[in-house]
Amino acid sequence: MNNAPSNRSLLWLMLGLTLGALPHFYYQPIWVAIIFLAMIGWRCMNIWRAWPLPSKRYKKQRWLQLSIAAFAVTLLLLHYGNLIGRDAGVALLTVMLGIKVTEIRSSRDFYLSSFLGYFLVVTNFFYSQSIGTAALMFVVVIIMTASLISLNDLTQSIHTKFKLKLAGKMLLQAVPLMILLFVLFPRIAGPLWGLPDDAYNAKTGIDDSMTLGKISQLIQSDEIAFRVEFADKIPTQSSLYWRGPVLWHTDGTTWTALDEKQYTANPPEIVSSGEIYRYSTTLEAHNNKWLFALDFPTQLPTDEKTHFTQDGQLRSDDNIKQRIQYQLSSQTQYTLNAGHDEFLQLALQLPENQHPRTQQLAQQWRQQTTHPHEIIELALNHFNQQDFYYTLSPTPLSGDTIDQFLFETRRGFCEHYAASFTVLMRAAGVPTRVVTGYQGGEINPINNVLVIRQRDAHAWTEVWIQGKGWIRIDPTAAVSKERIEQGMSMVMPLTMRSPLLIAQSQKLAELWQALRNNLDALDNKWNQWILAYGPKLQKEFLAKLGMSSPDWQKMVAWLVASISIVLLIISLFIFYRRKHHDPIARLYQTFCNRVALERGISEGPLDFANRLKQYYPDNAIEIDHITQLYINLHYGNQSASIEQLKQYVNRFKPQK
């Protein structure tokens, strides 16, 4: 079957392709979207205004199409450096699929574009596996399937509503097999198979370096960093310090963590006390090795390859390239390396010939007292009593950023206070380091899960005191207690927490927050039961179903047996329905029995009708009427009556 597709089927196809490509435009260069939409527009104008398409007849259009393709490939090479990898590959597919639409002339071209469109749907999950993405792609698949139904509706008599209904019905019929494959197909540890390294780039969030103004850039990010579900009591907001990278070295502008090779095998000396908090953390992929934990965890996660560094970082052996879940227990009262710390000299390091005014202030305090506690108190009082302000939009700094902040602007975010406090302490001879991570979080009242977003990113300090070890000091609390005691959401203006129009009304803002909470709770369930269904969860689930010690051989055997049973049940149901409850199928079978040609097992009614019309040209009109009535009744559920079909079949007398 190589006839030209109808305009209606082409419009269905282009709608599906456009919706499938739409999410990619957020990640790709703007010119990818322009080229794709221009090609779709060209084909639409061919349908509506008879614009010529590229062909041997229209050579100018052919050269234009080839030039656009060459131009697009050149831009891709310049932008990505190659055509290999997730980003470059998906961008190439998007552009070429748009160009392919301009040369669809046969059913073969249509099928090829459709199958590439289905693959384009799959590529969306390289970027996001959220429930929203899944819902949108489900709609796209229905539209793509409807385009194939429209392609095979030669008389274009099936109504749009019934095309969509039939496409949805076909997808729902595939759900049992989909569930079996999802549950029983052997899971492979790790992220998507063979996904290139660029799939994990450009992750927003905390990293192992800090400059003044860097963390404050995250204030606009509503992305979820991780979720925490406590087994019992939730600590107070002021105790929710989620420990991440520890920064030791500064060049005067940037603070960095130790290289992994600098750590020895010695674990940190931890003595914990107070109430134990047990919790489960669902950490989003960030392509780094640290795991965030309530300060301070009492043991390593049992089901993850992790280790403690000497400065108290909880790190994974491998980069976190997919969402993971781990269980921990923590105590918020502890002493860390109280006896000695081999890195104390690093905690006094300062760049030469920098921060002269800051060092002079620290030396003044040092002359007043040599006791670390009193020096700390002087610094905190300085922040509290002088004109320092906590701001979400700090003034950009240049030159000697520490001196400029402490003595000129005095307006900063958490990293400004942590960095300047550390410099003051080191200049006064008190070993100090910067700790980055997150502080606080927002409890979702729907499921009582604590949600920590990128905007909760925070920096604080730890000072080392003989006999007491490393003690957390958060200089931000001296300037803005609300940030620590009530969380970031309470210090952010309403316009930053809600869309602008909604923020104008308190009632609408509350409704918006309630909607967000419900969607987030749903998303959390999706993450835990669908996306987190890996090898470990699969084995646990199958064990509950009675499969002892499930391995891949057993799972494949169960999968084959289950699919066979489902297919057998479906076959019996179809056979029983056709035999006892489907007068439409019986009438069509009567029609088939009256002709000399035998209908193939996999031959559709339209293909069979085309063969019959070649064999019985004098009966072509009758064959078309009977075939279309059958399709309308059997697939489209249209208004044509069974009586009409019965009359046509009874009157049908094939004439060779």
Residue 367: predicted pLDDT:
94
**Neighbouring residues of 216: CB distance < 8 A, sequence distance ≥ 6:** 392, 393, 394, 413, 414, 415
Confidence of residue 493 (pLDDT cuts 50, 70, 90): low
State percent of the chain over pLDDT 70: 91
Residue 382: predicted pLDDT:
96
Residues 377 and 312 in one domain: yes
Q: Is 1 a residue whose pLDDT tops 60?
A: no
Q: Give the position of tokens 């969607």.
A: 519
∠ Cα 430 315 337 (to 5°) = 35
DSSP state of 189: S
Q: 544-559, pLDDT tens digit by residue?
A: 877 777 777 778 888 8
The domain containing residue 148 runs over which residues?
7-173
With contact defined as beta carbons under 8 Å apart, do 23 and 94 qualify? Answer: no
Residues 150 and 242 in one domain: no
Region class of 255: left (phi > 0), else alpha (psi between -120 and 50), else beta? beta
The β-bridge relationship of strands 389-390 and 411-412 is parallel
Note whether residue 479 is domain-resident: yes
Q: What are the φ/ψ torsions at residue 155 (nearest 5 degrees)?
A: -90, -5
Note whether residue 48 is domain-resident: yes
Per the structure, how many domains does the chain have? Answer: 4
Mean pLDDT, all residues of the chain = 87
Residues 378 and 514 in one domain: no
Note whether residue 82 is domain-resident: yes
Which domain-ending residue is among 150, 173, 196? 173
Residue 437: predicted pLDDT:
96
Q: 471-492, pLDDT tens digit by residue?
A: 999 999 999 888 877 777 666 6
Note whether residue 428 is domain-resident: yes
Residues 50 and 140 in one domain: yes
pTM of the model: 0.74
Residues 357 and 458 in one domain: yes
Note whether residue 94 is domain-resident: yes
Residues 486 and 508 in one domain: no
Residues 142 and 251 in one domain: no
Q: Is 230 a residue whose pLDDT tops 60?
A: yes
Q: 388-439, pLDDT tens digit by residue?
A: 999 888 888 988 999 999 999 999 999 999 999 999 999 999 999 999 999 9
Note whether residue 551 is domain-resident: no
Residues 425 and 293 in one domain: yes
Residues 26 and 121 in one domain: yes
Q: 610-633, pLDDT tens digit by residue?
A: 999 999 999 999 999 999 898 888
Q: 277-324, pLDDT tens digit by residue?
A: 999 999 998 989 999 999 989 888 876 688 888 888 999 988 998 888
Q: 55-109, pLDDT tens digit by residue?
A: 878 888 889 999 999 999 999 999 999 988 899 999 999 999 999 999 999 999 9
Beta bridge partners of 335: 271
With contact defined as beta carbons under 8 Å apart, do 584 and 630 qualify? Answer: yes
